[in-house]
Structure 1
Amino acid sequence: MTGPALLEIENLSVRYGAISAVRGASLRVEKGEIVSLLGANGAGKSSLVNAAVGIVPAAGGRICFEGRDITRAPAETVVARGMTLSPEGRRVFADLTVRENLLLGAALMRDRARVQADIETYFEMFPILGARQQQLAKTLSGGEQQMLAIARALMSHPRLLMLDEPSLGLAPRIVDGIFDLMVRLRDAGLTILVVEQNASEALGIADRAYIMTTGAVVYEGRAADLIGSTDLMDAYLGSGVS
């Protein structure tokens, strides 16, 4: 590949005191891809994407977005430049309504008419959110909260959307819908990095994949090569990975 990737992470380290959560990890996401970042709980996946978007500081390494170094940039700057994260556990604002949550997702947008148009667009994309737009977010089901978290992330008009464990705790039917949505968003021009423990679902929609264990990237390659190899799946993810 030539030229800068949309997102390029080089030799990233993240520490929490004496604990090394990410150790020398490197990753590229090219424009128009879905890239899956896989690994067991505690592998360092969330720490990597949290560092990429500026939520936690990098202890070492380099993070570039569209060729610009954002390693030390605060989260609001990263979002303004076009990268956003829908975090693990959804983390909607429980005591705000659905509509208010979406408005907060557009906090950096100055065109109020466009913001209102975007809200209507996502109500069309997620009809249940439109029907419940005046309900408090805490009254929604887990699947509805995940839809709200994704719609809130999309309100900032990202060029790169990162999703951290979007299938966690959801019923299989809802999971299928979330992954189908990712494909539609990619086909509409959005680039996606999805962090997942659900390897089979994530690899089924991804162009490329990375695997992390104990804070390090131990595999990178085409998703089709990984999902097509029982030996690779067992070696890197274990037979118990869904």
Structure 2
Amino acid sequence: MLELSNITVQYGVVKAVRGVSLKVEKGEIVSLLGPNGAGKSSLVSAAVGILPVAGGTIRFEGTDITKKPAETVVAMGLTLTPEGRRVFADLSVAENLHLGAATRKDRDGVAADIEKYLKMFPILGERYHQTAKTLSGGEQQMLAIARSLMSRPKLLMLDEPSLGLAPRIVDRIFELMLDLKRDGLTMLVVEQNATDALGISDRGYILASGSLVYEGDAKAMVDSEDLMEAYLGSGVH
């Protein structure tokens, strides 16, 4: 469904991502792991068109999207929930959700999806008219995910969805991802919480210093203590 081939991303002369190739098949959850500064966020930002690609090719459902702008990529069905949530703090929950559907023209469908996601995230219904800055960190993460889902993605990329959240909220976020998979959504998940991420994933990739150092079956990765310690170290929870 998504295929990154020999991708390079750089900031000036610094290469944040060096010739990385990975793929995500329809219906999978795939984890993208690695320490801080490994290039994970740069890679998914490039995949969705937020950062320019210095080399390589990105294909989504067989179409080359390497040079396409982010709004076109989102309209095609590839969406990113960025690290740090990045909700529109001074806008209400309702306004944030409507902005997530900015590429859509089907008003009835948008209204139906808002109702659907308020049922999936009941707390957002309770906070519907509040500004996003009044929400807790966990509530903001739920809003960020719901906002992404409003674009009706075929493949959702989540960048550090559990970062800074209380353990019970982290558990809820991972349960939610499994629910979304059961509903047919494909996901690429960037995480430092390696054990939990691999626990819901089909496959995993590990980046280090901008390069791909390992790829394999998620369960086999969790079971390999040497692998987890060698490449993830303190990132293993």
- Taking the TM superposition and a 5 Å limit, the aligned residue runs for 1:140-179 are 140-179=135-174
Q: CA deviation at 1:116?
A: 0.9
**Which secondary structure state, in structure 1, belongs to the residue aligned with residue 30 of structure 2?**
strand
Q: 1:21-63 CA distances to partner (integer Å, 9 max, x unpaired)?
A: 0000000000000000000111000000000000000000000
Structure 1: unaligned runs, 5 residues or longer: 1-5
Distance in structure 1 (CA, Å) of the matches to 2:21 and 2:232: 19
Whether the aligned pair in 1 keeps the contact of 2:33 and 2:207 (CA below 8 Å) is: yes
CA gap 1:240/1:97 in 2 versus in 1, 3 angstroms? closer
Whether the aligned pair in 1 keeps the contact of 2:74 and 2:151 (CA below 8 Å) is: yes
**Which secondary structure state, in structure 1, belongs to the residue aligned with residue 143 of structure 2?**
helix
Q: 1:168-201 CA distances to partner (integer Å, 9 max, x unpaired)?
A: 0000000000001001101110000000001011
Q: Percent identity?
A: 71
Q: CA deviation at 1:240?
A: 5.5
Match of 1:83 in 2: 78
Structure 2: unaligned runs, 5 residues or longer: none
Distance in structure 2 (CA, Å) of the matches to 1:240 and 1:154: 28
Distance in structure 2 (CA, Å) of the matches to 1:183 and 1:207: 11
**Alignment RMSD (CA, Å):** 0.7
- Taking the TM superposition and a 5 Å limit, the aligned residue runs for 1:103-142 are 103-142=98-137
Match of 1:187 in 2: 182
Match of 2:3 in 1: 8
How many residues get paired? Answer: 237
Q: Does 1:74 align with 2:69?
A: yes
Whether the aligned pair in 1 keeps the contact of 2:192 and 2:235 (CA below 8 Å) is: no
- In the superposition, the TM-score normalised over structure 2's length comes to 0.99
Match of 2:196 in 1: 201
**Which secondary structure state, in structure 1, belongs to the residue aligned with residue 27 of structure 2?**
coil
Distance in structure 2 (CA, Å) of the matches to 1:239 and 1:176: 20
Distance in structure 1 (CA, Å) of the matches to 2:208 and 2:219: 20
Whether the aligned pair in 2 keeps the contact of 1:14 and 1:22 (CA below 8 Å) is: yes
- In the superposition, the TM-score normalised over structure 1's length comes to 0.97
Whether the aligned pair in 2 keeps the contact of 1:9 and 1:64 (CA below 8 Å) is: yes
Distance in structure 2 (CA, Å) of the matches to 1:202 and 1:148: 20
Whether the aligned pair in 2 keeps the contact of 1:203 and 1:227 (CA below 8 Å) is: yes
Q: 1:93-146 CA distances to partner (integer Å, 9 max, x unpaired)?
A: 000000000000000110111111111111000000001000000000000000
Distance in structure 2 (CA, Å) of the matches to 1:50 and 1:109: 22
